[in-house]
Homo-oligomer: A and B are copies of this chain.
Amino acid sequence: MTRIIIHGCNGAMGRVLAQAAADGSDIEIVAGIDKLADPKDFPFPVFHSLFDCDVEADVVIDFSRPEALQGLLTYGKMHNIGLVLATTGYTDADKGMIHAAQKDCPIFQAANMSLGINLMMNLIQKAAAFFGDDFDCEIVEAHHNKKVDAPSGTALALADALNATYPQPKTYRLGRNKESGRRTRGEIGIHAIRGGTVVGEHSVGFYGTDEVVKIEHSALSKRIFAKGALRAAQFLCGQPNGFYSMEDLMAQETMTSLYT
């Protein structure tokens, strides 16, 4: 049984996570944290700050905002508790803080908790290695009209994965207009569509001479991120201090067990 604290329990993802945990097994939500939560709405104890929470737990799953990072790392070190960081929008300074904190507690971080997206990361790296500079790469993502950041953290993570493969890293072209001029080989285009209630779509296209290869992922509901985060929490439970990513999770388990 993995005992979990949900950080950001009143947000959209926090609520989906609580529901997914209730449907799962070997998992218990022992507390929720949210400045704005009304405890009456939740079937578990709720606190306005992590530091008010005296419930014993194995892992904190964070679906709040990047600004909460410092508090989370402090709490993780204080209680030597696992942290699943499922928020996007971390700055380079944030990433440095995470890197420094990995000696104090087990930390799992991923820009996207979906297993499908993480497979996609792997496939686009193979394609980029195969096509090299001869194919132009362009990323298109689509999300609902309430999303605040653009492009999505996942789109940037996909671009970073490509750049980890290319011998010469490319620059990111965030949309094109009159001033953009002709495309160069040294760029990756990233395009952010916003509209309606789209949960999340990501497409990576490789455009060559007279042929195009596209690798695409569509999320139909937020449950896939909740399920991935719960799986990460179970994985993290009992690991030594250190930094863990989806690759570690995927390497350890056969996929059949991941998906059932």
Contact = CB atoms under 8 A, between A and B. Distances in A.
Interface of A: 114, 116, 119-120, 122-123, 126-127, 129-138, 140, 142, 145-151, 174-178, 180-183, 189, 191-199, 205-221, 223-224, 255-256, 259-260
A213 B180 CA distance: 29
12 contacts: A119-B131, A123-B126, A130-B255, A132-B259, A147-B182, A151-B177, A174-B176, A195-B212, A196-B212, A212-B218, A214-B215, A216-B216
A123 B189 contact: no
Q: Is chain A's binding surface mostly helix, strand, loop or mixed?
A: mixed
A217 B207 contact: no
B211 A116 contact: yes
Contacts of A150: 176-178, 180
A196 B175 contact: no
Contacts of A207: 145, 195-198
Number of copies: 4
A217 B132 CA distance: 17
Contacts of A260: 134
A213 B214 CA distance: 10
B195 A220 contact: no
B198 A131 contact: no
A256 B133 contact: yes
A182 B178 CA distance: 23
